[in-house]
A and B are shown apart, each in its own frame.
Chain A
Amino acid sequence: MSVLRSLWFGLGRVLKAPALLGWIYLASLAVSLPLATVVRGKIATHVGGSLVEQNLRTSLDLDWYGEFVEEVSGVAATFGPEVIGHMALVANLERLLDGELFAAHRTLLSAGGLFLIFWTFLVGGILDRFAHPREPHSRARLFGHSGELFWRMFRLLILSVLFYLAIFRFVANPLHDFVEQATRDVTTERTVLFWTALVYLFTGVLLAAVSMAFDYARIAVVVERRRSAVLALLRGLGFIARHPGPTCGLYLLLLIVAAAVMLFYGAIAPSSSPSNWAAVLGALAIGQAYVLARILVKLWFLASQTVLFQDAQGQPDHTPTPSAPR
C-alpha cells in the first residue's frame, strides 16, 4: 500500500475508462449548454442592431454591461465581468470557501442541483468500474450499478451536505466573525489578512477532510456492498484513522494536481480578447480542455482512493465481485 502506487494505478484505471470522462462531460454540457443558449439569446436581443456590438468584440464594455444587467432577468443576470477568464475560477473558489455555492442565483441552484443528482447517480457505477478494472464493462453494467447504488449514494450525499452546512454554520462563519471582533483594534491589514487566510485554510482542511471521508464511505459502499450510509461513513472514517499518512498524502497530492490544473488554466485562460470566430472557438476549446482536465482529476481522486482502499484491505485490484463471472 503506497501513495504513489495508488496514484499510478489510479491513473491507469481512469485512462482505461474514457467513457466515464465522456459521460460526465456530456452531463455538464447537457446542463450548461441550454443555459448558455439562453444567455446567448438574451445578449443577442439586448445588443440587437446596436453599434455597441463593436465594443463587445474586443472587450467587455462596462457601460453596456451596466444597462444589460439592469434590464435582464433570470439566468442571464449572472453574466458579468466575473465570468471572464481566470476571474471565473477565483469567483467559484470563493463561493466554495465561503459556503455560497448554493447561495448563488436560483438558476445556478437548479443547474447545480441537477448536475449533483446526476453525479450522485453515476458515482456508484464509476466506483464499481474502478474497483473491478479487470471485469468486462458495458454501458448496461455502468448504469445498472449506478441505479442499484443510487439511493445509498443519495443518502451519503444528504449526510455530507449536512456536514458541509455544519462546517459553515458552526465553524467557518463564526471563526470569521471571531477574527473580525478580535482584530477590531488591529490597525494593520496584514495581521487581519493573516488570520483570515488561516480561517480559510482551516475551512479548506475541514472541507477536504469531510470530502475524503465521504469518498471512502462511497468506496466502502461499492467495494463492501454496505447499505447503511452511517456505517459506510464510519467505515470511511475508520479507514482514514487507521491509515492517516497514505490517505492524507494521497489526497494532498491530488489536490496539488487539481490546483496545478486550475493555475495553468488561470494563466492561459483567454480573457475578453477573442475578436473573431477562430479565436472564440479556440477559447472555447481551451475552456473545454480545462473542463475535461478537471473531470479527469476528479476521477483520478476516486480511482486512486479506491486502489488505496483495496490495497489496504489486501484486495488486489483484480479481485472480482463475488457475483461477477470470471
Chain B
Amino acid sequence: MVARCVVHLARGILWLTFVLPAAGQQAVEVSKRNANYTIQVRLDPEAKMLEGREVLEWRNTTRFSTSELWFHLYWNAWRNSRSTWLREDALRAEPRGGQLKQRRAEDWAYVQVEAVRVLPSGPFGAAELTQQARYASPDDANPEDRTVLVVPLPRPVGPEETIRVELIWKSKIPRTFARTGFRGRYFFLAHWFPKLGVFEPDGTWNNHQFHAATEFYADYGMYDVQITVPQGWRVGATGVALGVTDHPDGTSTHRYQQADVHDFAWTTSPDFREARRRFERSGLPAVDIRLLYQPEHAGQLERHFRAVEAALEHYGLWFGPYPYGHVTVIDPAYDSGSGGMEYPTLFTCGTRYWAPFGGGQPEGVTIHEAGHQFWYGLVGNNEFEHAWLDEGLNTFSEERVAEVAYGQWFFVRRFFREFVPVWLRDVRRSRLHGMGLDRYRAAARREVPATPTYRYHPETASAITYSKTALWLTTLERMLGWETLQRILATFFQRYRFQHPKPEDFFRTASEVAGQDLTWFFDQVFYRAAVFDYAVESVESEPVRTLGYVERNGNRILAETESGREEGPYETRVVVRRLQDGILPVEVLFVFEDGERIRETWDGRALWKLYTFTRPARLEYAVVDPERKLVLDVRYTNNSRRLQPRPQFVATKWAAQWMVWLQDFLHTLISLF
C-alpha cells in the first residue's frame, strides 16, 4: 500500500513536470511520440538473464502503408563470433570484444523473442505472429546475423493508423562487449529490449543490423518501464522514478517513465551510492542531477557535478535549453566496459581511483556524454548512417566547453597497467589535440565522410566521425567567427529538436545562417576524402640587383656588376605550395625584419604560387594560414619558414632530455646485472 501511494504521488509529480511548465521554464516542446513502449522486465542476477514483456504502440506517421514491423535485437550481436558486429570488431587492432577464446559460457549473450502478437485495437484484431517472424540482414546479407527481426503483419498499418504489438522475450546478459553487460553485481543494460526501427517518410524501414561502429536510430515516444531487481539494489534509468514496489520474493519493482525520448537504458547494482545536485542558471531551466557513483570515487563527486553543470550551462546557452528537468549520471563499476556512453536523460561517465585534476578525466568524458543529451538525445539523427552529426558536433562542443570551463588539460600517461597516472604540468593538450588531430592525420584518406557510417572501417571510424568533424567545425569557427558558428549550431538544434535531420539539413542551415553558400567547403571536407597540406616551400631575400642590359639616358648599357652589395632594398621571393588534393583559400603572412607585415589571400587552387616583394628590409618569415584556421592541415610545421632557420636550440634542448632518458634506461638495465 505504501508503495502504491508513492507511485501515485510520483505520478502526480511527473505529470506536473511534463504537462505544466514550471514557473520560469519554457514549455516542453513535444515530439511526435509515435513509438511508445510499456515494458516489464525482470533481472535474474545469478543467471545473468532478463525476462521481459513489452507492449509497443506505434503510429505510422508517413504517407505509406506497411505490412511489416522491423525490430532491432541488438544483443544477438554477441550470440556468437559470426555476427556482423563481431566480424567487424575483429577488424580493430584491439577488438572491443577482447579475446573471444577466453570468454566463458556466461560471457556471451543472446535475445530470444518467444512471442509476438498484435493486440486488438482500432482496425486491428488479435493475431499471433511468432511463427511468421524472421531474421533479416539488410546491410550485409550475413545469414549468421540475428540482430534484425522482421514481423509480417496480417493487415497493413496505414497512414496515421496505430498498431499495438506485444513481445515477450528472454535474453542473456553478456560480460560487456560494448557498454552493455555485467561485472560482478553491476549491470548496465542498453539495447536490452526488442526495439522498433524507423519507418521513413519514403515508405521504407530503416533498421540496420548492429554494427561495430554505430548503433542508434529510433523514433521518439513515451517509455513506461517497470524494472524488477533484488531488493536493496539501486536502479538508475532513463526518465523519472515513479516509485518502488517490494515483493515477498525479495525483489522490488522500480517504475520509470519518460516522454519524448528515443531510447531507454538502465543500470542496477547493490554497490551504487547516490548524490544529488540541482543545476540552476538564469536563463535556463533547472535540472536535477542524480549521480550514482562507486563508493571509491566519493572524493570526486564535486568534479563530476561541476562537469555536468558546465555542459548543461554552455550547451544550454549556446544551442538551446535542456528540457527534461532531470538527468541521471552513472559512474560505472571498475573495468565494466560501460563507461562513456549516452542514453536519453541518462549517461555513463568514467573515472579512475587515481585521476589527477587537470588531466582531463573524468571531466572530459562527463562533458561529452552530458553533451550528447543535446546532440543525439534531442537532435535524433540516424546514427547508423550519419554518426558525425551527433559524435562530431558533440566532440567539437565538448572540447569547446572544456576549454572555456577549465582551460587546457595537461599531459597524463598511465603506467603500470594503467593504474598509476604520471603527469607533466607544463605539457598542455591543445583543443586540436583533444579533438584527435593525430588520429585524424593517420586516417585522413581512409574514409569519405559521406559514406554511411555503418560502412566505415571500425578501426578508423572514430577518426573520421569524431575527429575530422570536430576539426572542420573548428575551421568553420575560425573562418566565420564563433558567433556565426554558434548561431548555425543553435538554429540547427532548434530546428531539428525531436527530429531526424540528415547531413543536407545541417549544410543547408549552415549556409543559410552564415549568409553565404558553404557548399564548396562541405564538398571538400565531407563529400571527399581530401587531405590538406599547405606549405612554405622556400624563402629568399637578396639585395635587388640587375644583370644584363638596362636602358639609361636612352642608351642600352650593360648593368653594373653589384656583387658583394649587402644593403637594401631587397627582393624577397617566397614559394608557397599545395602538397595535397584538398583546396581551401588560405592567407599568407609575410613579416619583414623591419616589422612590416604583408597579408595576402591565396585561393589555394594552383599547386604553387610565387610571391615577390621589393622592400627596404629582408624577410624574417612567411606563414601560410597564420591563424591556423585550416586545422585539417595535416602538417602545420611546414606552414611557416624563417629566412634564417634556427632549430638548433630546441633540437639540442630536447635531444638532451632524450639522452638523460636513454642513460636512465641503460642504468636501469644494468641494475639487473
Contact = CB atoms under 8 A, between A and B. Distances in A.
A88 interface: yes
Interface in B639-664: 639-664
Contacts of A258: 671
Interface stretch (A109-117, A129-137, A231-239): A109-117
B672 A96 contact: yes
Contacts of B427: 59-60, 62, 81, 84, 271-272
B669 A196 contact: no
A51 B667 contact: no
* Chain B interface, >50% SS class: mixed
Contact of B664 (A176, A273, A291): A291
Contacts of B659: 32-33, 35-36, 39, 284, 287
Contacts of A197: 419
Nearest to A115: B666
Given A46-B637, A88-B660, A280 B653 contact: yes
Given A88-B661, A211-B671, A272-B424, A66 B353 contact: no
Interface string A180-197: 000011111110110011
B424 A87 contact: yes
Most chain B beta-carbon contacts within 10 A, residue among A49, A52, A192, A294: A49
Contact of A298 (B352, B426, B621, B670): B670
B666 A31 contact: yes
Contacts of A283: 656-657
B671 A187 contact: no
B76 interface: no
Interface residues of A, number: 101
A83 B662 CA distance: 8
Interface of A: 28-29, 31-33, 35-37, 39-41, 43-53, 56-60, 62-64, 66-68, 70-71, 78-79, 81-98, 101, 104, 108, 111-112, 115-116, 119-120, 123, 157, 160, 164, 176, 184-190, 192-193, 196-197, 200, 207, 210-211, 214, 258, 271-274, 277, 280, 283-284, 287-288, 290-291, 294-295, 298
A67 B433 contact: no
A273 B428 CA distance: 12
* Chain A interface, >50% SS class: helix
Interface string B392-430: 000000000000000000010101110110101111111
Given A81-B413, A291-B667, A295-B667, A52 B662 contact: no
A80 to B, nearest CB: 9
Contact of B183 (A92, A185, A273, A277): A185
A41 B175 CA distance: 50
Contacts of A101: 665, 668-669, 672
B169 interface: no
A35 B662 contact: yes
Interface of B: 175, 183-186, 269, 271, 294-296, 333-336, 352-353, 411, 413, 415-417, 419-420, 422, 424-430, 432-433, 437-438, 441-442, 539, 621, 623, 634-673
Given A53-B647, A82-B661, A111-B666, 16 more contacts: A43-B647, A45-B647, A49-B643, A50-B641, A53-B646, A57-B649, A62-B430, A67-B636, A91-B661, A92-B668, A95-B665, A97-B416, A98-B416, A112-B666, A192-B335, A291-B664
Given A43-B654, A48-B647, A92-B661, A70 B442 contact: yes
A58 B413 CA distance: 20
Contacts of B296: 188-190
> 5 smallest A-B Cβ distances: which pairs?
A40-B655, A287-B660, A49-B645, A187-B333, A44-B651
B622 to A, nearest CB: 9
Contacts of B539: 49
B207 to A, nearest CB: 34
A108 B637 CA distance: 27
14 contacts: A36-B658, A39-B654, A49-B645, A53-B650, A56-B650, A57-B650, A62-B428, A64-B636, A91-B661, A101-B672, A277-B649, A283-B657, A287-B660, A298-B670
